[in-house]
């Protein structure tokens, strides 16, 4: 198994191209199930999760082709076409490693009238039930059965009639599944307290480009008027606001100055606000965002929340960064109950972090010390690499399959801005 070796001490300086958003791409890919015409996605990141989802789409009879797939390029262009569906079953072997696989449930149900999907896997960051996915589909007229580790959803013979559903709590994945099911419903579907993340907007924009009719995009009350069919489209995946935020934190904690090419301040509002509160310079440029250290960072208090609040996917990276700030920072995780598994690993490197339930108290330190550490989930992995960038000595990060799920060619991008980092095969 590969490892990343990081030798700390170099400030990050230069330009980093930001890839297409993983969390958006994994929602856009299943949209190809909603039409028999080609759907072409540009700026698709080269990630293990994308490859896994491509294999899953092939399972349903979807043809996939990749254009301009030169190894030296960031991003890819993929065309998917579901001319004839050969299956509406998502088997355990293809679903177990990737939670986003549940996003085929809605479009399969809408297109074929029936879908059987294995209960999903993914990062071990806490209990993430899919009950809201199922309740929303039931509200639109689907019949749901759960047995032997599989969800089976069935629509009435004429298709989903439509209906109304109010989310008791905001759920990004459930909102996405419900939207994709609703666009081919026979009637109108209404979603209240829907998620408003930029990735949801990206999904809606692609569906509209395919002929869907969706009102109130970007708001919490979505109204979807079902169509008899959708057509193909060509669409560019949005930039990854989590990847951009991760590199911003890395630049700040190393005393660096980087330009994040393609980053969008509007989509990163809470992250940018937190960086500025910590004393980091963030300014828009012609091509993205410039992030630069301005002396010692200040301690801050953060609480994760659904968009437009502070993203749970940025919590681990800010924790690593705030270890280098003066004073004591307080982070509260409200989204997932088990997302502090990186704390023991950071403490092994010299951090002084205490956890009390869903709250982490981060005491500023003079510096990290390199050590062998193990990644526990995707964003935790990045926090360990970031700590290694400022650590004295060498840091060895193992279990890279987590990183490869969400950061396109991480070590190459870091090396572009001066980091001493390399990927090596395990002994």
- For 67-93, what is each residue's pLDDT tens digit? 866 666 778 999 999 999 999 999 988
Task: Please report, in range form, the residues annotated as the binding site for phosphoenolpyruvate.
Answer: 22-23
Task: Please report, in range form, the residues annotated as the binding site for UDP-N-acetyl-alpha-D-glucosamine.
Answer: 99, 128-132, 313, 335
State the pLDDT confidence band at 426, using cuts at 50, 70 and 90: low
Catalytic residue among 123, 189, 249, 323: 123
Task: Report the alpha-carbon distance of residue 116 to residue 145 in Å, rounded.
Answer: 9
Query: Is residue 127 pLDDT above 50, yes or no?
Result: no
- Looking at every residue in the chain, the average pLDDT score rounds to 94
Query: Is residue 66 pLDDT above 50, yes or no?
Result: yes
Task: Please report, in range form, the residues annotated as the binding site.
Answer: 22-23, 99, 128-132, 313, 335
Identical fold, 3-15+240-424 and 23-236: yes
Kindly report, residue by residue over 387-408, the tens digit of the pLDDT. 999 999 999 999 888 898 899 9
Give the per-residue pLDDT at 74. 77
Kindly report, residue by residue over 355-373, the tens digit of the pLDDT. 999 999 999 999 999 999 9
Domain boundaries 3-15+240-424, CATH class: alpha beta
Query: Is residue 122 pLDDT above 90, yes or no?
Result: no
Task: Report the alpha-carbon distance of residue 384 to residue 341 in Å, rounded.
Answer: 11
Percent above pLDDT 90 for the chain: 86
Residue 123 designated active-site: yes
Query: Is residue 231 pLDDT above 70, yes or no?
Result: yes
Percent above pLDDT 70 for the chain: 96
- The structure tokens listed for 54 are 């491509």
State the pLDDT confidence band at 125, using cuts at 50, 70 and 90: very low
Comparing 337 with 317, the larger pLDDT belongs to 317
Q: Give me the mean pLDDT over the 61-71 stretch.
A: 83
Query: Is residue 410 pLDDT above 90, yes or no?
Result: yes
Task: Report the alpha-carbon distance of residue 240 to residue 21 in Å, rounded.
Answer: 4
| Side-chain half-sphere CA neighbours of 55 within 13 A | 13
Residue 366: which residues within 8 A CB-CB, separation 6 or more?
none
CATH topology of domain 23-236: UDP-n-acetylglucosamine1-carboxyvinyl-transferase; Chain (3.65.10)
State the pLDDT confidence band at 26, using cuts at 50, 70 and 90: very high
Q: For residues 151 and 105, is the Cβ–Cβ distance under 8 A? A: yes
Q: For residues 171 and 200, is the Cβ–Cβ distance under 8 A? A: no
Which of 131-135, 211-215, 249-253 is least confident? 131-135
Residue 279: which residues within 8 A CB-CB, separation 6 or more?
294, 295, 296, 297, 298, 325
Reduce the DSSP state of residue 292 to 3 states and report it.
strand
Q: Which of 226, 203, 231 is nearest to 213 (CA)?
A: 226
Query: Is residue 342 pLDDT above 50, yes or no?
Result: yes
Task: Report the alpha-carbon distance of residue 29 to residue 39 in Å, rounded.
Answer: 9
Comparing 232 with 127, the larger pLDDT belongs to 232
Q: Give me the mean pLDDT over the 202-224 stretch.
A: 98
- The structure tokens listed for 50 are 């994308």
The ranges assigned to domains in the chain are: 3-15+240-424, 23-236
Tokens 């990290």 -> residue: 368
Kindly report, residue by residue over 234-247, the tens digit of the pLDDT. 999 999 999 999 99
Query: Is residue 257 pLDDT above 80, yes or no?
Result: yes
Q: Which of 163, 108, 159, 107 is nearest to 135 (CA)?
A: 163
- The structure tokens listed for 49 are 């999760």
């Amino acid at each position: 198994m590969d490892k990343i070796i990081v030798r700390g001490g170099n400030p990050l300086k230069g330009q980093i191209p930001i890839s297409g958003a993983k969390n958006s791409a994994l929602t856009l890919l299943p949209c190809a199930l909603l039409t028999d015409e080609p759907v072409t996605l540009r700026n698709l990141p080269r990630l293990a999760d994308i490859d896994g989802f491509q294999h899953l789409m092939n399972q349903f009879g979807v043809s996939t082709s990749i254009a301009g797939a030169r190894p030296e390029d960031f991003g890819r262009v993929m065309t998917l076409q579901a001319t004839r569906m050969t299956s509406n079953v998502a088997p355990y072997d293809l679903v177990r490693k990737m939670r986003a696989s549940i996003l085929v449930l809605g479009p399969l149900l809408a297109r074929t009238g029936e879908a059987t999907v294995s209960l999903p896997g993914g990062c071990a960051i806490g209990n993430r039930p899919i009950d809201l996915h199922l309740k929303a589909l039931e509200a639109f007229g689907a019949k749901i059965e759960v047995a032997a580790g599989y969800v089976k959803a069935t629509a009435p013979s004429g298709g989903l009639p439509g209906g109304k559903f109010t989310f008791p709590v905001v759920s990004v994945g459930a909102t996405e599944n419900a939207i994709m099911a609703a666009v081919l419903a026979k009637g109108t579907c209404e979603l209240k307290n829907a998620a408003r993340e930029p990735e949801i907007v990206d999904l809606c924009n692609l569906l509209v480009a395919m002929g869907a009719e969706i009102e109130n995009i970007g708001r919490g009350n979505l109204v979807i008027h079902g169509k008899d069919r959708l057509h193909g489209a060509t669409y560019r995946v949005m930039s990854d606001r989590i990847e951009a935020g991760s590199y911003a934190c890395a630049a700040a904690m190393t005393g660096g100055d980087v330009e994040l090419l393609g980053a969008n301040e509007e989509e990163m509002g809470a992250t940018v606000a937190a960086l500025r509160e910590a004393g980091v310079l963030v300014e828009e440029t012609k091509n993205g965002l410039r992030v630069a250290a301005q002396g010692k960072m200040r301690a801050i208090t953060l609480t994760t929340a659904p968009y437009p609040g502070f993203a749970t996917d940025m919590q681990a990276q800010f924790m690593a960064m705030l270890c280098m700030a003066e004073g004591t920072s307080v982070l509260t995780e409200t989204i997932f109950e088990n997302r502090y598994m990186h704390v023991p690993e950071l403490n092994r490197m010299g951090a002084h972090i205490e956890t009390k339930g869903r709250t982490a108290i981060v005491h500023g330190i003079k510096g990290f010390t390199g050590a062998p550490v193990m990644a526990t989930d995707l964003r935790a992995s990045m926090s360990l690499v970031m700590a290694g960038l400022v650590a004295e000595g060498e840091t060895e990060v193992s279990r890279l399959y987590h990183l490869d799920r969400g950061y396109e060619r991480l070590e190459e991008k870091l090396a572009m801005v001066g980091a001493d980092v390399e990927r090596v095969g395990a002994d």
